[in-house]
Amino acid sequence: MCGIVGFQSFASLPDTRIVVQAMADSLLNRGPDSSGIWIDEHVGIALAHRRLAILELSVAGHQPMHSTSERYVIAFNGEVYNHNKLRAELKKANLSHCWRGHSDTETLLAAIETWGIEATLQRCIGMFAIALWDKESQTLTLARDRVGEKPLYYGWQGDTFLFGSELKALKTHPAFQADINRDALCLYMRHNYIPAPYSIYQGIQKLLPGTWLQVSRTQRESETKTYWSGVEVSRQGKATPFTGSPEDAVNTLENLLKNAIGQQMMADVPLGAFLSGGIDSSTVVALMQAQSSQPIKTFSIGFHEELYNEAAHAKEVAQHLGTDHTELYVTPDDCMQVIPRLPTLYDEPFADSSQIPTFLVSQLARQHVTVSLSGDAGDELFAGYNRYQLTANTWARLSRIPRPIRQWAAKTITSISPASWNRIANTLKSVIPSFGQWANMGDKLHKGARVMASHSAADLYIGMVSGWQYPTNVVIGGTEPPTFLTGYLPNLSHLNTVERMMVLDLLTYLPDDILCKIDRAAMGVSLESRVPFLDHRLIEFAWQLPLEYKLRENQTKWVLRQVLYRHVPKELIDRPKMGFGIPVDSWLRGSLRDWAENLLSESRLRQDGYFNPALIRQKWKEHLSGQRNWQNDLWSVLMFNAWIEH
C-alpha cells in the first residue's frame, strides 16, 4: 500500500523536482518506508511514490518503476493478489524476460507490455490506483480498481493536469486553486460524503471505480473507459442465475471466500484482522484462522456505553476460533482526541461519525501488524442492511394509498412536535404496553412523515439515506448536481426493489463512504486494509444468487450465515444488528457542546457564507433542548466547518 501523485504540465516550472517531492512528502502516512520520483522535463511529466512495503521489501520493489523495455513508467498503489499466477503466464509467453524481484508492480508492468492496459486490468484481482506513463505515445493513463478501494483524484488546474491518492498532495502544487465547489457541497449535505466523480474543489474529480482514462500532450480532453461495471454484473447475474441447491450455494460461497481470503493473506509483513463479532468480520476471521497454522491476530474496540458496545461479542468469537485477540475499551475523551485529526485524515468534508471508531481500531491494529483484513461489503452483497427490507415493505404499503392522502397525513404528523408525540406515547404506555418499545417516537414519526409523499420506491430510498432533505435550502449559492441516485439513474429494470438498492449502494455508498472511511483511517496510521468480500469473482457470484438465498424467513445474509455457522455456533452470532457508531447525540449536548457552539455560532456561519444560519441554528437549538435528535444533520455542518477552518 502506498501513495501516488504526479502531474503533466504545459507550463514551465523551474523547480519541478522540489514541487513533486513536496507533493509526495504530503503522503508520508501512506508510505513511510521510502519515496521515489521520476521526471521528464522535456514533456513536463512527473511521477512520485511513497511506499509502505508489504511485498518485496528490497529495493527491487522501489517506485516509480520502469518496464524492462523502458517504454513505461508506473506509480502504483495497491495489491494485485493473483500476481504470481499472472507472472507464471507471462513467463510462458516471454521466456527471455529478465525478472528483477517478486513485486506485483513488476508483474503489472510486464503484463501491460505483453497484453495492453485494458486486458491487464481485466486479468487483475486486487485493489489499486495506477498512474502509467507511456514514453512512446507520450500518454498518461490513470486506472482505478473495480469497486473503488483505492482513491484517485485528478483534474486540470490551469495548464497543469494533477493526479494523486489524496487531495492534500494536489493542493501542494503551486497551480492548485482551491476553489470550493458549492454544488458538491450540496451533495455532501445530502449524503454526508461527496460522491464520485465530484470532489469539494472546482475542476478536481474522483476517478470512478472500474474505469481508466488517458490524457496526452496532443489530447488534453481525457478519454474515460469502463472495464468493469456493477450494473452490468447485476444484469449478467440475473440473466444467468445460480441454479444449484441452497447447500450448493453455501459450498460455492465458502470456497470463493476461502480463495479470496487466502490470496489476501499474502504479505511479507505481520498481518491480522478487524473483528467486531458480527457476521461479516467473524466469517473473514474464521476462514483466515482455518488457513493458518498460527493464531490470527484480531482487534476490536469497545465502549462503556452498552448500546454501542460489541467488544464482548467479538471476544467470544475470538476465544472460540482461538485467535490472538487484542481489545481496547475507549472513552469519550479518546474519541474526542481524534476529532481534530479528521480534517487532515479525510482531506475533504466527510461526516460518517463511525470514522472515529474506525480510526481507533486501525490505530490499535497498527501497533501489532502492517496489514489488516476487514469484513466490509458483506451487507451490500448479501442484503444485510435493515433499510432494504424496510424501504421495500414501506413502499408496498404506501403505494396503495393515494399520494394526496399521504401528503395530508404527513402534514398532520409534522404539525405536532416530536416532544408532543413523545408525551402522547408515554401516556399510551399504560394502556397499550407495546408503545413502550418505541423510544423517541416523535423523531421516528417525523422521519417517516418526510418520505410519505414519495413518488416511487427509489424516491423513498433517497429519502431514507439522505441527511439534509433539501440541501439547496441550506447551502448558499449551491445547486445539487446529478448522481446515480438523483440524476443519471442507470437502467435497473432487471432488478426488484431490494436489488436496486443493493446495486446503488455498490455504486455509491460503498466506495464513497465505507471504503473511503477505512482507507483514510487505516492509511492515517500507515496500515494497509484489505477487503476480501470485494474480490470481483465473489461479487459476480453474489449477483447470480437468487434474492431468497440472501433474505430468507426475515433473516438477512442467509447464505453467508450458513458459511459462518460451520465455524462458529449460532448463539455467538445471532443477535440484533448494531452499527459501528458513537453517541454523538449526547456528546453534542455535553462534552462536545462548546466545540460545536463555536463552529455553529451565527457570526461564524454568516462570516463563512456557505450555509443558511437560520436553518442550522434552529436545529442546534432543538437538539440542545432534547426536542429532536439532529446529530447527523449537525455533524455534517460541524465536519465541514472544522475542515474549512483547517
Active-site residue list: 2
Q: Which residue has the cell 502509467?
A: 132
Give the chain's radius of gyration (CA, Å): 25
Q: What is the 3-state secondary structure (H, E, C) of 111-149?
A: HHHHHCHHHHHHHCCEEEEEEEEECCCCEEEEEECCCCC
Respond yes or no on whether the N-terminal peptide bond of residue 511 is cis (omega within 30° of 0). Answer: no
Closest CA to 238 of 551, 490, 546: 546
The amino acid present at 16, given as its one-letter code, is: T
For residue 247, give every residue at least 6 positions away whose Cβ sits within 8 Å of its Cβ, in sequence order, or none: none
Given strand 2-9, what is the order of strands in its sheet?
34-40, 45-51, 2-9, 160-164, 153-157, 205-206
Pairing outcome for strands 126-134 and 45-51:
unpaired
Does 526 show up as a binding residue in the annotation? no
- Looking at 403-494, list the stretches that DSSP marks H as alpha helix, in order from N- to C-terminal side: 403-414, 418-428, 441-449, 457-465, 471-474
477 is in an annotated binding site: no
Q: Pick left, alpha or beta for residue 536 (phi over 0 → left; psi -120 to 50 → alpha; otherwise beta).
A: alpha
- Grid coordinates belonging to 343: 480534517
Residue 6 contacts residue 40 (beta carbons within 8 Å): no
Residue 591: all three cell numbers together: 462534552
Three-state DSSP at 401 gives coil
Distance from C-alpha of 417 to C-alpha of 421, rounded to nearest angstrom: 6
Do β-strands 205-206 and 297-303 pair in parallel, antiparallel, or remain unpaired? unpaired
To the question of whether residue 582 is assigned a binding role by annotation, the answer is: no
* Residue 145 counted as an annotated binding residue: no
**Grid cell digits, residue 138:** 507520450
In 3D space, the residue among 251, 173, 166, 171 whose CA is nearest the CA of residue 206 turns out to be 166
Q: Which residues are annotated as a binding site for L-glutamine?
A: 104
Annotated binding residues for ATP: 301, 374-375
Task: Tell me the binding residues.
Answer: 104, 301, 374-375
